[in-house]
Chain A
Amino acid sequence: MSATDHSIRKGEVLLAVDQVSLSFGGVKAITDVSFDIRKGEIRAIIGPNGAGKTSMLNVINGFYHPQQGRITFKGQTRSKMRPSVAASQGIARTFQNVALFKGMSTLDNIMSGRTLKMNSNFFWQCLRHGPAMAEEIRHREFVEDIIDFLEIQAIRKVPVGKLPYGLQKRVELGRALAMEPDLLLLDEPMAGMNLEEKEDMSRFIIDVNTQYGTTIALIEHDMGVVMDLSDRVVVLEYGRKLADGTPDEVKADQNVIDAYLGVAH
């Protein structure tokens, strides 16, 4: 992605994190962090292990409730919310350790991402006819598009527990996409992948961003990937914000270099 692209993608603010602090007992996971995610951009959150990146995602989609600070999503400010509410507002995510429904097929896993969009009542569900079946078919069509998009047609009916790791990650991305989210949070989408798989996944992330127009926030340790994919990067260390800006700005930031390479004392 060239440098000119970055300047175009400056939409309105989709999500703003404002002075958020989170601690577990005496352990401070996040201290006074603020940043924003703009509509249509790919935003990376990086930092060394234990910097609070995953905690940040957990705060954004409601798993953790920060002690201080506010989160504004689509103009609505809140401090506490449940993950299911976050989901209904349009936040989807994948997990660092794949969190698929292991006993279900690829198709069923992605179909479960459509749960919120389905509303046929219990009676028709019992009969599996009429509105319930029509709805099922409608969503199946949508899910088939995603399956085509991710090139996983061959494993449609395979239980996901039997799939190799790289494909599981892909199915998990598919399940998140099935929710048609406004904001997609990816927690280390490329962890443990080989080069080829990383390239595939990068391609999918860029395609999701351009084709579906989904805003993406991702955590990733592979700096090459981060610098290539993202429009803007926020750097965390020990729960604090270290730097925030375009990949080039962040790369040149002395604090970031110190954090990653260490400082001579």
Chain B
Amino acid sequence: MFYRETGQFKTNYADDMAVFPILQDRLGIALILAVAFVLIPLTGSNFLLSSVMIPFLVFSLASIGLNILTGYTGLISLGTGAFMGVGAYACYKLTTLFPEVNIVVWIVASGFFSSLVGVLFGLPSLRIKGFYLAVATLAAQFFLQWCFTRIPWLYNYNTSGAIEVGQRTLFGIDVTGPKASLEARYMVLLTLVTVLTWVASNLMHGRIGRSFMAVRDMDIAAELMGIDLLKTKLLAFAVSSFYAGVAGAAMMFLWYGGGEANDAFNINQSFLILFMVIIGGLGSMIGSFFGAAFISMLPTMLKFGLPALGIPLAGATAEHLTYILVGALIIFFLIVEPHGLARLWQIGKQKLRMWPFPY
């Protein structure tokens, strides 16, 4: 009744090819952006920003990255954690070598380093597919993780072996380091995520996105259309690793504020992001956000939400119970909709178009 495209006629192809052709969708996006940019920073508590929104945004970015590779191009990767690490270390090196350059520039630039490494480890993808490629990217995960701990140059010969986030400003406001406010970090991260999501969506809607999906769906026919498989796959690795790298840099500099990278960028992280992509929906932008929200917010919500509802939880029990619940919910959603939350969302929208009529 409210959500229907009836009467919204497109009179030119540009309108018809818009990412959000339906007016209600555009209003919805505007509302979400308004809430994210204005309402949350103004009224949100520190807890909401630091434990819910910032992790969610970082994981969204990483999920988009992996979704471009796995969901759109059909190449499974278990190296996302390591590619994120490359971004974090690149950003650390860059900002210590050139402290005068703005940190936001370096966070974005570190994505390019991650791209390069991603392309390198993406080379075998021309020959190997599926599970075998997953194993090959596992090599990237272990090798890069080894580099992070064994090459002291990467962490500037710190005795702690950790990334130390210095104080950096943007427009005179601290955005990284101990004195940076949560709001500032959140706003920088949100802006990054918004812009990069827009770019990813643009790419996926055009020629490049189509060639990615062509390679995923039927690589023989794609080659016949004149799509160079090696170039396309490497481009997918490059774009995907770029997003992972930026997410990694953002994670260290805007969320953790430094720390032992070996814990943050290990194989568990790679799996976690793969789960986000699968649960959210392969080959869907909004699915990346759903997946990131589901996996990153759910434990927090259960941990703090259940006691608030009067169900007492404490210490180790709480943690274990959260694991059990999250696991059960993952299984539940995958049984209800194997194509992920994004498909569930689509079905919901379809239903809403018909509502209140049965068909």
Contacts and interface: CB of A to CB of B under 8 A. Distances in A.
Given A87-B225, A88-B226, A112 B206 contact: no
With a 10 A CB-CB cut-off, give which of B206, B210, B224 has the most chain A CB atoms.
B224
Interface stretch (A9-17, A115-123, A241-249): A115-123
Contacts of B221: 95, 99-101
A127 interface: yes
A100 B218 contact: yes
B206 A101 contact: no
B213 A101 contact: yes
B202 A127 contact: yes
A100 B222 CA distance: 9
Contact of B226 (A104, A111, A116, A135): A116
Interface string B131-148: 000000000000000000
Contact of A179 (B13, B14, B213, B226): B226
Interface in A91-106: 92-93, 95, 99-104
B214 interface: yes
B25 interface: no
A104 B202 contact: no
A88 B116 CA distance: 28
B34 to A, nearest CB: 23
A197 interface: no
B225 A104 contact: no
B207 A116 contact: no
Contacts of A140: 13, 17
Interface string A127-160: 1100011011100110010000000000000000
A126 B239 CA distance: 11
Given A115-B210, A116-B226, A137-B17, A126 B199 contact: yes
Contacts of B202: 125-128
B242 to A, nearest CB: 11
A43 interface: no
B349 interface: no
Contacts of A128: 202-203, 205-206
Given A126-B203, A128-B202, A137-B13, A103 B283 contact: yes
A125 B206 contact: yes
Nearest to B228: A84
B220 interface: yes
A101 B218 contact: yes
Given A102-B218, A104-B213, A104-B217, A83 B224 contact: yes
Given A101-B217, A103-B283, A125-B203, A93 B224 contact: yes
A89 B220 CA distance: 17
A103 B13 contact: no
Contact of A112 (B12, B199, B211, B228): B211
Contacts of A92: 224
A103 B207 CA distance: 15
Interface in B227-241: 227-229
Contacts of A125: 202-203, 206-208
Given A128-B202, A136-B206, A101 B17 contact: no
B211 A115 contact: yes
12 contacts: A100-B221, A108-B213, A112-B222, A112-B225, A115-B210, A118-B207, A122-B208, A125-B206, A127-B199, A128-B205, A136-B206, A137-B17
Given A100-B218, A103-B213, A112-B214, 13 more contacts: A83-B220, A83-B224, A95-B221, A99-B218, A100-B217, A101-B216, A101-B217, A103-B216, A112-B225, A127-B199, A128-B203, A137-B13, A137-B14
Interface of A: 61, 63, 82-84, 86-88, 92-93, 95, 99-104, 108, 111-113, 115-116, 118, 120, 122, 125-128, 132-133, 135-137, 140-141, 144, 175, 179
Interface of B: 12-14, 17, 199, 202-203, 205-208, 210-211, 213-214, 216-218, 220-229, 283
